[in-house]
Amino acid sequence: MPTRTVLVGSASGLHARPAALFVAEAAKQPVLVTIRSGDKKPVPARSMLAVLSLGAKKGTEVTLEADGDGAQAAVDTLADLLERDLDAVDA
């Protein structure tokens, strides 16, 4: 199963605008991608509530995972997004 572990790159953490951009991108993927931080339970990446509840800050290690057709591409897209500083992206 395709898996990627990355560090959150956004200055404010996976909150506010970075979380909104991430969740919106996850919802566009053809497969269900999960995200987990540390030994906590994986949660759906397209869930705003669950993603916020991770409480991931800048530099927090998170793991993405997906299964099925297009899983690798979906995981890569979202992992690349997480590594960027989304606070610096223009609205």
Chain residues in the site for another protein (CB under 8 A): 12-13, 15-17, 19-20, 23-24, 43-44, 46-50, 52-55, 57, 91
User: With respect to another protein, which residue has the nearer C-beta, 6 or 48?
Assistant: 48
Q: Can you tell me the distance from the alpha carbon of 67 to that of 54, in angstroms, rounded to the nearest whole number?
A: 21
User: With respect to another protein, which residue has the nearer C-beta, 61 or 76?
Assistant: 61
Closest CB 9 distance from another protein, rounded Å:
16
Nearest to 79 by CA among 62, 54, 59: 62
SS3 call for 36:
strand
Q: Can you tell me the distance from the alpha carbon of 40 to that of 82, in angstroms, rounded to the nearest whole number?
A: 18
Reply yes or no on whether 9 is catalytic: no
User: With respect to another protein, which residue has the nearer C-beta, 50 or 76?
Assistant: 50
SS3 call for 53:
helix
Q: Which residues are catalytic?
A: 15
